[in-house]
Chain A
């Protein structure tokens, strides 16, 4: 029997990238999906965010994989919008069993040169958005006495990293949030964990800002030019992993196999974490 037969999974940031991959993989293993994305660009983010068309494409992919899908535009900073997503999911499928708080942005700046707006958007989306997503389902799951929550942190949620201090701060915060919620929901049969990826081959790193960061002296280049720089971050000598690799761990944490795992942050990080205490 498929691992997620009869289960309902909610995924934020489902328009493309990791979120889309998680959604399609859950569908392929029997789940129905509740999907959300902001579906619009944002001023301080140096690359285009997912569009409404991207989200529609995710819905089509979920359906092609055998799942049903409800999809809504929602910014994870918007409590009311998240409430509507959760309500729509419960109405369509009767409840929500799994939540993947995946939506997030990246940006590049030293802390000394960072604008208030860059900092604030990052914290509001990558930390506040995870809080609001988790809060939107915590009561529902506690009431049902079961549930699986997986939040996307990062390998830099356990270490410092230059040029992305706001991202690092938010991702550390996600782990603190996850561990605390794990303690609060344990008696209700809900597990709460984080996955901590290294670089993943998505639009979040395939953009001019990151190319410039790694190769500031070149005026034009392709991702092939920065493969070496990304590879240097990882003991397993490849530049980045694929969204599917992260989905493998997200689905494991959402499965019955992980029922005794909660409050944990699992690095899928090509060994970056081997050099750290985490």
Chain B
């Protein structure tokens, strides 16, 4: 399947590591030029784990280049439309336009809605929903000239259902689906598709951190990954604790490929079967 993305110009947000890094490298492996964007900040208010760093972002760009693709590392906070327009414009200029936009950047925090601080709520909506809008707003105009324009946004199974302790995350991820379906309708006449991938748990820092272990094993004082694995698995239908980043990349690359040219406004759950219990 090599070369599916030959010559395509790709932008991946949240590209410093995790799913975003993997998508970037996989696109490059199939022939694409890839710009990766991340906040490159050690921390963000309310978020209990470190965010993608500049060093990690540059490492992703090196991995992209090692696959033979042109690479660009962009630093911007997706909460700022001005920063996004500047960074994305820089990538679009370097590549001569954009074909594929992967709206991947996101955070996860925990808390019950009844006691959630305004800051926890606000940061979540600003990053995971408004950040996705800012990304689309900054990048899509650069895709109008593309012959194979594709937007793929990362939502979640929490974007199709309610979930305790992540009500703000669920609200943002539901909102993202509404935005992408609307975007799909607006872009359909231009031949650009817009779709959503909905993962369940994925083997990244968003899952593998102490706050996450504690959420899944509230019965333990200091739960480890090993303690949390059975609880992770209990959420899923196929008997695994989480998908690999490569599994999500498989679906993202499919949606970005020529083979998915007539799929738009869809939510594709690469979700270990959690979706089988849903609509």
Closest to A270 in B: B262
A183 an interface residue at 8 Å Cβ cutoff?
Answer: yes
CA distance A180 to B275 in the complex (A): 11
B61-78 CB contacts (< 8 Å) to partner A: none
Contact count band on A: 35 or more
Taking the closest CB of chain A, its distance from the CB of B270, in whole angstroms, is: 5
Q: Is B273 within 8 A of A266, CB to CB?
A: no
B269 adjacent to A183 (CB under 8 Å):
no
Which residues between 248 and 278 of chain A lie within 8 Å of chain B, taking CB atoms?
Answer: 248-249, 252, 257-264, 266-271, 273-275, 277-278
Are A237 and B189 neighbours in the complex by a CB distance under 8 Å? yes
B184 → chain A, closest Cβ, in Å? 4
Chain A stretch 184-240: residues in CB contact (< 8 A) with chain B: 186-187, 189, 191, 198, 235-237
Decide yes or no whether B237 CB sits under 8 A from chain A. Answer: yes
Q: Among the interface residues A235, A264, A270, A273, which one has the most CB atoms of the partner chain B within 10 A?
A: A264
Contact of B237 among A3, A241, A249, A262 (CB under 8 A): A262
What band does the interface of chain B fall in when counting residues whose beta carbon is under 8 Å from A? 35 or more
Q: Which one of B188, B237, B250, B265 lies within 8 Å of A182 (CB-CB)?
A: B237
A195: min CB distance to chain B, Å:
10
| A264–B182 alpha-carbon span in the complex (Å) | 21
Q: Which has the most chain A C-beta neighbours within 10 Å: B181, B182, B265?
A: B265
Known: A236-B188, A260-B272, A262-B238. A183 touches B264 (CB 8 A): no
Q: A266 touching B238 by the CB < 8 A rule?
A: no
Residue of A nearest to B160 (CB): A277
- Chain B CB within 10 A, most for which of A182, A258, A271: A271
Please determine whether B269 and A264 come into contact, CB atoms closer than 8 angstroms.
yes
Chain B nearest CB, measured from A261 CB (Å): 5
Q: Give the distance in Å from the alpha carbon of A235 to the alpha carbon of B238 in the complex.
A: 34
CA distance A3 to B193 in the complex (A): 26
A sample of 11 inter-chain contacts (CB < 8 A) reads A186-B276, A235-B264, A237-B189, A260-B240, A260-B247, A261-B269, A264-B276, A268-B263, A271-B265, A274-B188, A277-B279
Question: A-B pairs with the 10 shortest C-beta distances?
Answer: A274-B265, A263-B276, A248-B259, A235-B188, A257-B250, A182-B276, A274-B184, A271-B264, A262-B273, A260-B247
